A and B are shown apart, each in its own frame.
Chain A
C-alpha cells in the first residue's frame, strides 16, 4: 500500500532516457499516430491519439530534464503532474493501448511511442494508477504462479490427459533437454490441444524437450502493468528453471507478450545475457520446416486467414514463418488487408484484455478487425497467440460472426501423420 505520486515521479525520472527526450523533441503534432491506432480510428475520439496518451510523461520530462521546462515549472507556465491527472490518464495508458506498436510504425519522425508508453506505465504503476484487472493478474502470477491462477497440479492433470489421449510422453523437469517449453495459462485452461501439438511436433522432429515444474507459465503480467521489478521476478523464475535444467532453448508459447517479455526484455530485466536461446514456437516450427524436420500431410480446403499477433510480427520480427507454415497445410490461405507488419491489433494485448471496465471500448475497437475479416470472409481464423485468440473469440461472438479461431501450432499438429505406430517400434 505504498504507491504514491512521488514514487511514480521518481521511477519516471529513472526511466526517462535519451530516446524519450529525442522523441518528445521531435514530435510535430502531425496526428498521424492517431490514424494508426484502432482505438482512435474506431471511436473517432481524438483523446485516443497515441502521443496524447503520453502527455503527463512529456511534461514531466520537460520539467525535470530541460532547462526551459524547469523554468516553465518555476514560473508556473507548466503545471506539475498530479494524481488526479494520472488517474484520468489510466484509461489512455492501459485500456486504450495494447502496446501494439502501429503508432511507432507510422510516426514520420520515428518516435517509438510504444517504447514510451511501456516506460510511462512504470510510473503509472508505481503511483498506484494501474487498473485493478492487471493488478489482479500480477498478483496471481506472483503469488500463485499464473495470471489465471493455474497451479502445477492443473498442469500435471493436463499432461496426463494428453499422454493418455495421444500416447506421447510429456517430459517434466527433464534435465539436459534441448527445448524447454513454456505455456501460457490460457493454453493450460482453454486450449489443451497446444500441449498435445507440441508433443507431436517434437516427437516427429526427434527433439528432446521438457516442461519445468517451477517455470511453466510464460506470461509476464509484470511487464504488462509496467513494473520492471515484478517483471524481473517473473523472468527470473524462467531463467532459474532453464538454467537448472540446462536447456539450450526456451520456447515461448503462442503468446505475444510472453515472447516480448522473455525474448527482448528478459535479459535487460535481469541485467545479464541469457545462457540459453529464446524462441517463439512459430520460430521453432519455421526452423523445423526449413530443416525438413516437419512433415505434414493433407491440406485444409476451407478459406483460412491469419491474424498476426503484434508482439510476434511487428514488435518481434517473425513474419514469414507463419505464412510458410500456413501454406504448408492450407490450399486456401487468404491474407487480410494490412496483414503482416502492419496488421491491426485484436484490441486486447498489453494487458488490456484483463481490464474489465475496458471491455466496451475493446469491442468498439474490434470493429477494425471485423472490417478486415469482412474483406476476406474466411471460414476460419488462425493466429499464434492465446490472448489474441480469446479476444478474437469474444469479439466475433459480440458481432455475431461465426468464424472459429484456432492456433497455428495445433493446425500444424493436426496434419502430422499419426505416430502411435512408430511409438511402438
Chain B
C-alpha cells in the first residue's frame, strides 16, 4: 500500500519564541525526536491542528540546522490563531517539504546576493540567508535590506543584531516605517531604501514581503537597470493539498505549491496577473 501524500506525520512543538507582538517562531521536531525532513531553503510545509485546519508555512530555519525545523508565523487566520495560543510540548501534524525552493546550489552560486524583506516576509528568506552564511565560500557579497512597521515588528531582531550584523561579508540594512525615539537607524519604506542604497545591477535579488512592497521595490530595481531574470520572489496563495491537485493555488498553468513558491520575475511575466 502506498503512503498517501495527504496523510501527515506527527510533530512536536518543542519551543515557542515570541518575535514581535504578532509573530512567534515555532520549533518543530518529529515524534521520534529527529528532524521531520530535509528541505531546501524556500520550501514550505503543511502544519495542521486537527479540527482547526491545515495551512502552508515557509520553513524559516536553514537546512544546515540538523536537529529541528522552525517556522516564524504571523497571527492572521484561524490556524495561526490556534498556533499562537498553544503551549510548548503540543503535538501537531506536519507534512512536507513542498515547493521548489531557491536555487541556492545552482543559480545563486558565485553571485552577490541582495535580500529584500518586509515584515513577516523575512520568514522564507531567513532560511536562505542562514544557508548562505553557512556556505559563505559559495557566494559573493551578501546584503540584506529588511524593514518593518516599527522596531517591535522586526522579526529575528536579536539574531540579526548578534549574528548577522557582526559577521564579515554580510551587510544588514534595517529600516522602519515611522521614526521612534529609541531607533537610530534608517527610517522609511523598504522600496525607497533599496533605491537609496543604489545596489549594483549584477546582484541577484531575492524579495519577499507585502505585495505593495514587492511592487514598488521591483519598479525601483527596474529603474536602476536590473534584469528581471535576476530577481526572485516567493508567493503565497490559498492551498489545501500542497501537491498540485486541489486546484486553487494555480496562476495560469503553474501551481504555486508545486512549481513555486519561488519564481523569477521573468517567469511571472509569462503568467497571468492573478496573485
Q: Do A and B come from one complex?
A: no
